[in-house]
Chain A
Amino acid sequence: MQSNTLIDEITHLRDEFELTTNKLIKDIKRHDKIMARTDRDQLRELKKLEARLQEVEELQQSQKELLDSFIKLIASAIDAKSKYTGGHCERVPELSLMIAKKASESNEGIFKDFSIDTEDQQRELSIAAWLHDCGKVVTPEYVVDKATKLETIYNRIHEIRTRFEVIHRDKTIEALNKKLNGENATEVDKWLENEHKQLQEEYAIVANANIGAEFMKDEDIQQLKHIASKTWIRNFDDTLGLAHEEKKRVLQENSTTPQIEYLLSDKIRHIIPREYFDYEQYEKMGFKTKVPEHLYNLGELYNICTKAGTLSYEERFKIQEHVQMTIIMLEKLPFPEYLKNVPLYAGAHHETLIGTGYPRELTIDDMPIASRIMAIADVFEALTASDRPYKEPKTLSASIRILSFMVKDQHLDKDIFKLFLSSGLYKEYATKYLKPEQIDEVDISQYLKL
């Protein structure tokens, strides 16, 4: 009986053992299946991920290309809008990158810690250079505001010359009247000859001042004011034929006729008021350039008395405003981390090393080397460009001489200037972009001593 129980127990245990063994074997087999399937799954997932990664990379690349095309679109719009800039936006990035690469290779002086080796760094500088003038998109052109058929960018010397002609005839009439009144004909003729001669001389003075090639001394200005005080009689209503805006300004003056007019005058109508200027935003952006009270002052005497160059204070500000616009526009763009310096680089190309530039009056410590490189590229391109209708292209040696003056004045960086010369980059650029007749010998040794 006992042995039977024992046998039963053993049989039972054996059955249980068999069952467990079978279950184990089954589990192992299932495990293998699961592993094999998981492996296949993983491979499939990996392939899918790889395909997606490739897709993402392709998308990134096409986005980059799209961004580049947009940048070039904006730049070419600026170049196309104004014949005054020509291919400027295209050549400045090229020249900037050429200089930056050389600066990167150099380990001397300020270039010790400067490097622009990675594709991203070069892209950052290139984009900044492509967009450095993008603010010019909003620089006004007279066409946009043209209000009457005859309104144009007009050299008012022609109008003033006409007034000289009027006075010339007035004098002739005065002489004839004198003769009619029985004055001595010979003396009257002598008087008239003298008056006419004086008018010719005075007109030549005004015409010469108009060109703005020479610096105006105080006595020159006194002389112009004296000439300007000559009078003529206006018999026609000068409020006719005007568009609304101009008429509003003119109606503030006394326009009854006949009216004694000055040969050159500063009138209420010449003041274009500055409206809608956000001074708070201006300060917040860190712009320091003093804002002129008026938008424009078209005064004849005011403009002819401009001491240097042809731009009035207001017009100079308007031109300089393009960098402010560049900064405002670029700071609005959500640049990725590796392009975060684009607004800084692009917005500092008119700064100097000593706080006399614009718009933020930065000094050397606030100006990254990349910005200083762009500043030189900007000036050099502008000097040597042969596609500007308003000026003859300068020779290579003359352009470099001007650069050297700007270096002496600490407007441009001395080390970058020297690198530009010693590396032979100036020649390389000249060969590529200058006309053969512009390229002359440059004695760089005198500049390397600076």
Chain B
Amino acid sequence: MDNLHIEETKYTPEILLNTDGTISLTGKSYPENTFEFYAPMIEWIKQYFTTSPATTTTVNMEITYFNSSSSKLFFDFFDILEEHSENNDITINWIYDEENESALEAGEDFIEDFEDLNINLVEK
């Protein structure tokens, strides 16, 4: 399978999905239609785990601002990661700015919800 790269726009993040197991989302997340926007990413990650995942997968997420449907989508995304956490060494780095309370709170919500996932809160 191929790597997937989605360019950053004013309201959507840059998304890098590499078959070597490095994944990153960087920027803001206010898509007009969130589920449509992230559909290729969700499709890719499902295929990644079912075909040829790397032994370790590192997800760096640095989403400064995001709407509530993006929050919902990240939960769904983490659900998929959690499903495969037994067979794959997955690390999620939730990167936030020290002054961004909202991003910190979201990161805390994710940790609370996904006991089996290794989520690190990384202050910039």
Contact = CB atoms under 8 A, between A and B. Distances in A.
Interface of A: 26, 30-31, 33-35, 37-38, 40-41, 44
Interface in B51-106: 68, 71-72, 75, 101-102, 105-106
Nearest to A45: B102
A35 B67 CA distance: 11
Nearest to A26: B113
Given A30-B113, A37-B106, A37-B109, A44 B101 contact: yes
Contacts, number: 26
A297 to B, nearest CB: 68
Nearest to A29: B113
Interface of A is mostly: helix
In the A-B complex, the 8 residue pairs with the smallest Cβ-Cβ separation, listed nearest first, are A34-B71, A38-B68, A41-B102, A34-B68, A33-B109, A30-B75, A37-B105, A34-B72
Contacts of A44: 101-102
Nearest to A39: B68
Nearest to B70: A34
26 contacts: A26-B113, A30-B72, A30-B75, A30-B109, A30-B113, A31-B72, A33-B109, A33-B113, A34-B68, A34-B71, A34-B72, A34-B109, A35-B68, A37-B68, A37-B71, A37-B102, A37-B105, A37-B106, A37-B109, A38-B68, A38-B71, A40-B102, A40-B105, A41-B102, A44-B101, A44-B102
B92 to A, nearest CB: 16
Contacts of A40: 102, 105
A24 to B, nearest CB: 13
A26 B76 CA distance: 11
A196 B68 CA distance: 109
A185 to B, nearest CB: 113
Interface of B: 68, 71-72, 75, 101-102, 105-106, 109, 113
Interface of B is mostly: helix
B115 to A, nearest CB: 12
Contacts of A30: 72, 75, 109, 113
A103 to B, nearest CB: 52
B62 to A, nearest CB: 18
Contacts of B101: 44
Given A37-B106, A40-B105, A44-B102, 11 more contacts: A26-B113, A30-B72, A30-B109, A33-B109, A34-B68, A34-B109, A37-B71, A37-B105, A38-B68, A40-B102, A44-B101
Nearest to B69: A34
Contacts of B105: 37, 40
A38 B66 CA distance: 10
Nearest to B102: A41
Contacts of A33: 109, 113
A38 B69 CA distance: 10
Nearest to A35: B68
B59 to A, nearest CB: 19
Contacts of B75: 30
A19 to B, nearest CB: 12
A122 to B, nearest CB: 43
Contacts of B113: 26, 30, 33
Nearest to B105: A37
A30 B70 CA distance: 12
Interface centre among A26, A34, A40 (most CB of B within 10 A): A34
A160 to B, nearest CB: 81
A33 B110 CA distance: 10
Contacts of B102: 37, 40-41, 44
A31 B68 CA distance: 9
A41 B106 CA distance: 11
Contacts of B71: 34, 37-38
B8 to A, nearest CB: 22
